[in-house]
Structure 1
Amino acid sequence: MEYTQLGRTGLKVSRLVLGTMNFGGQTDEPTSHALMDAALDAGVNFFDTANIYGVSEHKGLTEEVIGSWFAKGGDRRDKVVLATKVYGDMTDDGSPWNVSSWPNHDRLSAVNIRRAVDASLRRLGTDHIDIYQFHHVDRLTPFEEIWQAVDVLIQQGKILYAGSSNFPGYKIAQANETAARGGRLGLGLVSEQCLYNLAERRAEMEVIPAAQEYGLGVIPWSPLHQGLLGGALRKEAEGSGARTKVGRSAAGLADPAVRAKVQAYEDLLEKHGLEPGEVALAWLLTRPGVTGPIVGPRTREQLDSALRAVELELSAELLAALDEIFPGPGPAPEAFAW
């Protein structure tokens, strides 16, 4: 496994991030524990979760599964860089972005941050969270209040770093400029999780440049675009690939223009004898500013495939061909101004 610094911090993390969203839901606890053991054995030390992960009637289940794995001992907790998230409503079974069914039980007020971190620590069975991430932009809470809450958590030893997820570039700048003006204890934001992959490159316009400017590590989520880049058309022909029948992948395959790009992508990689999912991950590892993509395996086979991507070297010729199929938007402001 290769390691890199997380943004401008001194923290060393693996180039793959183990995403745990399926644990406790689509993946039962014994299988989840086995996958975490296998990832750790392979050198993956960066685990990502969120307080809302789990089945709808049991939000927090994923953190509990991770906590029961930590409780097995064997230095599991000491070896893991643990990241979780706060924002979503934990009190009802609706969308995590809905207005809370009870006041102050969602978003990023100092009250909810304090409540949410203590609840996550209990579920995870640990005394601290390495990277505490804001799962979404809170348009109602000023960053001065958010950083006040973060300072308290750092003083208490409950968190070490703060990160963001799904932030636009201007909010990354606003967050870190506010932190710098306030002389805060922490470093401001040190990481940003964003939707970024070959088929969805809009983050290259402003999010990734902002992250690089402020020294944030970029952690792409949905690196296979919900299966679209994992051999979707081949699996469709084989009658497999359930994930490609819903969400972003299904929407893409229903669009003739996107479908043609995916076909060209799979044809190109078949010519080179390469697996589409592994190439999609390897491509992200070549991108400036990227710390490592989040992979969310449900099986050991999927984890092994992701691990192979770290060792995969993509030629300049192949990278150029991928850019022809899935061209990026270009950096801002040139991409939209000139």
Structure 2
Amino acid sequence: MEFTHLGRTGLRVSRFCLGTMNFGPHTSEDDAHQIMDTAHEQGINFFDTANVYGWGENKGRTEEILGSWFAGGGGRRERTVLATKVYAAMGEWPNESGLSALNIRRAVDASLRRLRTDHIDLYQMHHVDRATPWEEIWQAMEVLVAQGKILYVGSSNFAGWHLAQAQETARARNFLGLVSEQSLYNLLVRDVELEVLPAAEHYGLGVIPWSPLHGGLLGGVLRKEREGVRRVTGRSAEALEGKREQLQAYEDFAAELGHEPADIALAWLLTRPVVTAPIVGPRTLEQLHGALRALDVELDQKALDRLDEIFPGHRPAPEDYAW
């Protein structure tokens, strides 16, 4: 496993981040524990979760599964760079969502209880809160850092100008501010190249791409469909219909290179300049082992150029759409 610094910090994390969103809804507690044990054995030290994972009536369940795993001891917590998130509604009452100082204070304490730990390494804002001033957000985060409850702050699903707002306000307070941004980024969806990635690079933020296979569409979906292995439904089915020709060209190119499409999609993200660690969110141990194959895939410039032909990207704004 390769390791890199998270943005401009001294914190070193694995080039893959273990996503845990499936733990609870789709993966049993025992299987989740086995996946996390294997992740450590393979050198993955960066785990990502969120207070809302588990969903519906089971919100918080995923954090509880991580907490029970940490409680098993054996250095599990000490070897893990733990990231979780705050923003989504955890109840129906006012102040049980968003980024008010009150909700941040309550949410972090609730996450710490579920995770059975005394601190969170990376506390991420799951979404921008347009109703709460940055001065309030940063004051709340500063208190948590001073209390030792969190070490670093990250964002998720922010626009480029949100990153600028956050960082300039933090700078005025002599606070470190954000160290990472978690964004939707993959070969099919490259919008963040316009402004989010340039902003992240300017401010020294590590980018953590989520949905690197875009719901499985970059994982050889057409071949699996033909073989009867997978039937695409829901939003993935809608997205697939307009991209069959593009995805067929991609799967043909993957076959030409002698690699699985999923491996190429992950390996491509590892070549992006500001990407720290794509999130791999396995439902099974087999899927985790599959993701790790991407570490052995080397893409030369010719292959990268061909991928750009199949999935055109963006230049930074405004050059992408202006002279």
Which one-letter code corresponds to 1:45 in the other structure?
N
Q: Which residue of 2 aligns with 1:311?
A: 296
Per-residue deviation, 1:206: 0.3
In percent, how many aligned pairs have the same letter?
65
Q: Which residue of 2 aligns with 1:174?
A: 165
Per-residue deviation, 1:56: 1.3
Which one-letter code corresponds to 2:317 in the other structure?
A
Which one-letter code corresponds to 2:107 in the other structure?
A
Which one-letter code corresponds to 2:277 in the other structure?
G
Superposed, 1:140-159 pairs within 5 Å as 140-159=131-150
1:120 equivalent to 2:111? Answer yes
Q: Which residue of 2 aligns with 1:14?
A: 14
Which one-letter code corresponds to 1:20 in the other structure?
T
Which one-letter code corresponds to 1:141 in the other structure?
T
CA RMSD of aligned residues (A): 0.8
Q: Which residue of 1 aligns with 2:98?
A: 107
Query: Which of 267, 273, 296 is matched with 1:288 structurally?
Result: 273
Query: Which of 221, 224, 236 is matched with 1:235 structurally?
Result: 224
Q: Which residue of 2 aligns with 1:130?
A: 121
Q: Distance in 2 between matches of 1:274 and 1:245?
A: 26
Q: Which runs of 4+ in 1 moved over 6 A?
A: none
Secondary structure of the 2:122 match is: strand
Q: Which residue of 1 aligns with 2:39?
A: 39
1:202 equivalent to 2:187? Answer no
Q: Distance in 1 between matches of 2:141 and 2:284?
A: 36
1:251 equivalent to 2:238? Answer yes
Q: Which residue of 2 aligns with 1:325?
A: 310
Which one-letter code corresponds to 2:249 in the other structure?
A
Secondary structure of the 2:73 match is: coil
Per-residue deviation, 1:172: 0.2
Q: Which residue of 2 aligns with 1:183?
A: 174
Superposed, 1:217-228 pairs within 5 Å as 217-228=206-217
Listed as ranges, the gaps of 5+ residues in structure 2 are none
Q: Distance in 2 between matches of 1:208 and 1:31?
A: 35
The C-alpha deviation readout for 1:123-160, integer Å capped at 9, x for no partner, is: 00000000000000100001100000001001110000
Q: Distance in 1 between matches of 2:215 and 2:64?
A: 25
Per-residue deviation, 1:25: 1.1
Secondary structure of the 2:315 match is: coil
Query: Which of 245, 252, 262 is matched with 1:277 structurally?
Result: 262
Per-residue deviation, 1:77: 0.1
Q: Distance in 2 between matches of 1:182 and 1:39?
A: 38
Secondary structure of the 1:72 match is: coil
1:29 equivalent to 2:29? Answer yes
Query: Which of 135, 139, 145 is matched with 2:130 structurally?
Result: 139
Q: Which residue of 1 aligns with 2:74?
A: 74
Which one-letter code corresponds to 2:239 in the other structure?
G
Per-residue deviation, 1:55: 3.6
Q: Does the CA contact (< 8 Å) of 1:59 and 1:90 recur in 2?
A: yes
Q: Distance in 2 between matches of 1:337 and 1:56?
A: 44
The C-alpha deviation readout for 1:83-112, integer Å capped at 9, x for no partner, is: 000000011xxxxxxxxx211110000000
Listed as ranges, the gaps of 5+ residues in structure 1 are 92-100
Query: Which of 230, 254, 265 is matched with 2:250 structurally?
Result: 265
Q: Distance in 2 between matches of 1:169 and 1:228?
A: 26
Q: Distance in 2 between matches of 1:240 and 1:308?
A: 21
Q: Distance in 2 between matches of 1:62 and 1:129?
A: 15
Aligned length: 323
Per-residue deviation, 1:240: 2.0
Which one-letter code corresponds to 1:219 in the other structure?
I
The C-alpha deviation readout for 1:252-298, integer Å capped at 9, x for no partner, is: 2121xx11100100011112221000100000000110001000011
Per-residue deviation, 1:225: 0.4
Q: Distance in 2 between matches of 1:259 and 1:308?
A: 25
Q: Does the CA contact (< 8 Å) of 1:24 and 1:55 recur in 2?
A: no
Higher mean C-alpha deviation, range 175-184 or range 131-140:
175-184
Secondary structure of the 1:336 match is: coil
